[in-house]
């Protein structure tokens, strides 16, 4: 059963009607081709209208869509010979983060990403893409290896946030994330981060320090979920829609705030409509990033990374 989002309903209704008329034309003597053509024109216009004017809250729904492609989907589209490696060598193997090596354009790279499931069973296995400390430590282990063997690091960000659980706190969720931020700041290989779904707070940032940060058009990146913000600011989680609008969490917002480098367009109706097309669009941007970043000396790379982050923020002087 395909998940239908609230704002898409007029499109789906019209599509159903067209299908009905087509069936009717096929089954009966009456020819409705003219009406069908008219409706199809209207459908195209309606799609342009709706998908071309998505509100922040619509994009939140899109970013959370159950069929939205995940890290592993993109890995299989973009890379060859992907070999997944497991475990943090300290506690366990967190399935909410996948990591491994692969070829990108015939050169070895390290690939890491949050991994959520598309159905309940897979989501339970993946803990809904919400990592524990061992996930971040697994990621760090692979990034250190990338540094050692001089491979670029590519991360895919797609998480509601780091898991808020007792065991996660006991094993040092804060430290695990903090350590990744600090170490990612210092690796002398290019790091490209791509937000493909939800970029939820510190849990997202734990894989998100890099030289280039890109976001898919309908992904979000925020300090807290809209629901969380609404309940803290206005003591009412149902004001999430309002929070989503106030907090500037869409790819275009972040581009405007100079937090990200590029917005990667999505096919009409979202990434899940055509994963191949989506992967191609990511490929264009990723290749460009890797090519550009590979030109820098390690000193230049680190200096540029510092410049990038140094300039994020807004304040005034008295």
Instruction: Give the footprint of another protein on this chain (CB under 8 A).
Output: 162-166, 168-175, 177-179, 181-183, 185-186, 201-202, 205-206, 208-209, 221-224, 229, 232-233, 246-249, 253-254, 257, 259, 302, 305-306, 309-310, 312-318
Min dist CB 261 to another protein, Å, is: 13
* Nearer of residues 85 and 128 to another protein, judged by Cβ: 128
Q: Identify whether the C-beta of residue 168 lies closer than 8 Å to the C-beta of residue 132.
A: yes
* Nearer of residues 174 and 294 to another protein, judged by Cβ: 174
Q: Identify whether the C-beta of residue 248 lies closer than 8 Å to the C-beta of residue 254.
A: yes
* Nearer of residues 81 and 311 to another protein, judged by Cβ: 311
Min dist CB 194 to another protein, Å, is: 16
To which residue do tokens 């690796």 refer? Answer: 187
User: First vs last Cα of the chain: how many Å apart?
Assistant: 58
Handedness of CA 191, 219, 129, 121 (dihedral sign): negative
Residues in CB range of 100: below 8 A, 6 or more apart = 82, 83, 84, 85, 110, 111, 112, 142
Min dist CB 304 to another protein, Å, is: 11
* Nearer of residues 172 and 267 to another protein, judged by Cβ: 172
Cα–chain-centroid distance for residue 172? Answer: 25
Min dist CB 192 to another protein, Å, is: 15
Min dist CB 138 to another protein, Å, is: 17
Min dist CB 168 to another protein, Å, is: 7
* Nearer of residues 70 and 220 to another protein, judged by Cβ: 220
* Nearer of residues 185 and 277 to another protein, judged by Cβ: 185
* Nearer of residues 29 and 314 to another protein, judged by Cβ: 314
**Cβ neighbour number for residue 211 with a 10 Å cutoff:** 23
Min dist CB 224 to another protein, Å, is: 6
* Nearer of residues 77 and 252 to another protein, judged by Cβ: 252
Question: How is residue 262 written in tokens?
Answer: 């590029």
Min dist CB 270 to another protein, Å, is: 22
**Cβ neighbour number for residue 297 with a 10 Å cutoff:** 9
State the Rg of the chain over Cα.
22
Q: Identify whether the C-beta of residue 102 lies closer than 8 Å to the C-beta of residue 75.
A: yes
Concatenate the DSSP letters of all residues of 95-144 into one string: TTEEEEEEEETTEEEEEEEE---SSHHHHHHTGGG---HHHHHHHHHHHH
């Amino acid at each position: 059963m395909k998940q239908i989002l609230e704002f898409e309903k007029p499109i789906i209704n019209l599509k159903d009607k067209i299908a009905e008329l087509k069936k009717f034309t096929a089954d009966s003597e009456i020819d409705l081709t003219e009406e069908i053509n008219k409706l199809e024109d209207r459908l195209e216009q309606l799609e342009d209208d709706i998908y071309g004017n998505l509100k922040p809250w619509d994009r939140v729904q899109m970013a959370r869509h159950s069929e939205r492609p995940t890290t592993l989907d993109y890995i299989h589209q973009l890379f060859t010979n992907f070999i997944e490696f497991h475990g943090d060598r300290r506690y366990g193997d967190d399935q909410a983060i996948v990591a491994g090596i692969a070829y990108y354009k015939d050169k070895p790279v390290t690939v890491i990403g949050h991994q959520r499931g598309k159905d309940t069973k897979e989501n339970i296995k993946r803990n809904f893409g919400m990592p524990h400390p061992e996930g971040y430590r697994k990621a760090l282990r692979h990034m250190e290896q990338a540094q050692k063997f001089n491979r670029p690091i590519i991360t895919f960000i797609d998480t509601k946030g780091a898991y808020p659980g007792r065991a996660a706190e006991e094993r040092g969720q804060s430290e695990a994330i903090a350590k990744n931020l600090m170490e990612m700041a210092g690796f002398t290989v290019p790091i490209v981060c791509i937000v493909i779904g939800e970029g939820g707070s510190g849990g997202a940032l734990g894989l998100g320090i890099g030289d280039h940060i890109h976001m898919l058009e309908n992904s979000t990146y925020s300090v807290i979920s809209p629901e969380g913000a609404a309940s803290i600011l206005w003591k009412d989680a149902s004001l999430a829609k309002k929070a989503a609008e106030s907090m500037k969490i869409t790819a275009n917002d972040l581009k405007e705030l100079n937090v990200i480098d590029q917005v990667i367009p999505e096919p009409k109706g979202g990434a899940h409509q055509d994963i191949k097309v989506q992967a191609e669009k990511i490929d264009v941007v990723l290749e460009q990033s890797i090519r550009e970043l590979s030109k820098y000396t390690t000193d230049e790379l680190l200096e540029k990374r510092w410049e990038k982050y140094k300039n994020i923020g807004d304040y005034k002087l008295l």
